[in-house]
Amino acid sequence: MNEGLTIDSGDTAWMLVSTALVLMMLLPGLALFYGGLVRAKNLLSVMSQVLGITAVAVLCWIGWGYSLAFGEGNALFGYLGKAGLAGIGGDAAWPLATAGEAIPELVFVAFQMSFAAITAALVIGALVERVRFAAMMLFALLWLTIVYAPLAHMVWAAEGLLFAMGAIDFAGGTVVHINAGVAGLVGVAFAGPRLGHLREAMPPHSLALTLVGAGLLWVGWFGFNGGSALEANGLAAVAMVNTFAAPAAGVLAWMGIERFVSGKPSMLGGASGAIAGLVAVTPAAGIAGPIGAMLLGATASLACYGFVSSLKNRLRIDDSLDVFGIHGLGGIVGSIGTAFVALPALGGHGAEGYALGAQLVAQLAAVGVAIAWSAAGSALCFAAVRQVTALRHGEEQEREGLDLSDHGERAYYG
């Protein structure tokens, strides 16, 4: 155990719960949210991809991902001194902001592992209903190694490039949401559109499943944001209140503009607005006040609505479940907006003498680096996968449905 550090049982308990909450976001939260949005013939395919990527992420993180992200290293990545969790026993401590206190490093490993898993799983939402299971498993392995772990190091490790610049990313606006959104957009360019895109109706087969999934995601997000405080303290409470406020504003903003444009607010719009608000407040969860969180949630929701409802189709982008449209764009709005909502005038928790201009430059730099790193690295990963195996199924298999093509089973019989 590290000299001078004491494991705090209360903080440890909170982090154990937070880790389990983030896993719940994946299984069953994301699986249900995505599963309800696809056609019935592809439900098991989507759920299997979420399940498989979770397993790949766990093994990758233990093997080398954690060391690349949080091991001692340079400005871009950690070295492999902690590969296989070498030297991290039950008595190893991870220091907290409160002097002299710590949590077991294995708990920190598990918490960050759940982040890696959900980020990789988010990507598949852009590519569902056409990509092969085996191809996505290989992609996840490469992407977590080449893209996710180094970006996490840049943002959250003490010697990381963006951390040293002062960029604020409390719980993953750049590392998780911009990263996944851009990767999904790159994947669309490699995979191409679904058969019948913009010509055939492709309605969700069960919005009830989608709302259940959205609810589980919102509940799990309290672990995502609140757990990023790493302590059961006032900072976690700030993050928790903001995790209520931002999605609530997002729900009403999305449904409100739907009511104005089409005359009817939709349930899917409400769920989408909630996720957009959650995404936007993620980087700012520990530094915004509740008013700032509401502003972020509403702004991101309106921006995402504009892209999803209009611009996406004009650009003929088949981002199936709007991974870029909600996570990528919402993450960009939230990461840049973090500089503004930290202002004390908006109830934010920026330090005395907080300099908006300097912080805005740091946030813009972080967004730019995250987009460039994810785009280049994701393109490399998809190109490598395509050299090993076909990325998508043939036309006949796609029309039959990926449940049968990939897994030989159906979600519903009779």
State the alpha helices, DSSP H only, in 101-168. Answer: 105-123, 133-143, 149-156, 161-165
| Residue at 9: amino acid letter | S
* Predicted local distance difference test score (pLDDT) of residue 100: 95
Residues in the chain: 414
Q: Which of 86-90, 138-142, 303-307, 351-355 has the lowest mean pLDDT?
A: 351-355
The model's confidence at residue 398, banded by pLDDT at 50, 70 and 90, is: very high
Q: Which residues pair with 103 in a beta bridge?
A: 94
Tell me the chain's radius of gyration from C-alpha atoms.
20
- What b/e sequence results for 102-127 when a residue is b if at least 16 CB atoms lie within 10 Å of its CB, and e otherwise? bbbbbbbbbbbbbbbbbbbbbbbbbb
Contact 227, 12 (CB under 8 A): no
Per-residue pLDDT of 356-392, as tens digits, reads 999 999 999 999 999 999 999 999 999 999 999 999 9
Q: Which residues pair with 93 in a beta bridge?
A: 104
- pTM, two decimal places: 0.97
Per-residue pLDDT of 131-162, as tens digits, reads 999 999 999 999 999 999 999 999 999 999 99
Per-residue pLDDT of 327-341, as tens digits, reads 999 999 999 999 999
Angle at the Cα of 181 from the Cα atoms of 178 and 182, rounded to 5 degrees: 85
Question: Looking at residues 170-185, what average pLDDT do you find?
Answer: 98
| Residue at 359: amino acid letter | Q
Spatial neighbors of 213 by CB under 8 A, at least 6 apart, are 28, 29, 30, 31, 32, 33, 34, 35, 36
Spatial neighbors of 123 by CB under 8 A, at least 6 apart, are 139, 140, 143, 180, 183, 184, 187, 323
Contact 201, 316 (CB under 8 A): no
Joined tokens for residue 330? 């919402």
Contact 374, 328 (CB under 8 A): no
Joined tokens for residue 4? 């001078």
Joined tokens for residue 169? 């990313």
Q: Which residues pair with 73 in a beta bridge?
A: 78
Averaged pLDDT score across all residues of the chain: 97
State the angle between helix axes of 9-24 and 207-221 in degrees (0 to 180), rounded to the nearest 10: 160
Domain boundaries, the chain: 6-407
Joined tokens for residue 122? 């988010």
| Residue at 55: amino acid letter | A
| Residue at 312: amino acid letter | K
Question: Looking at residues 239-260, what average pLDDT do you find?
Answer: 98
Q: CATH number of 6-407: 1.10.3430.10, 1.10.540.10, 1.10.1370.40, 1.10.220.70?
A: 1.10.3430.10
The model's confidence at residue 68, banded by pLDDT at 50, 70 and 90, is: very high
* Predicted local distance difference test score (pLDDT) of residue 273: 98
Separation of alpha carbons 404 and 45, rounded Å: 9
Contact 46, 34 (CB under 8 A): yes
Question: Looking at residues 254-271, what average pLDDT do you find?
Answer: 97
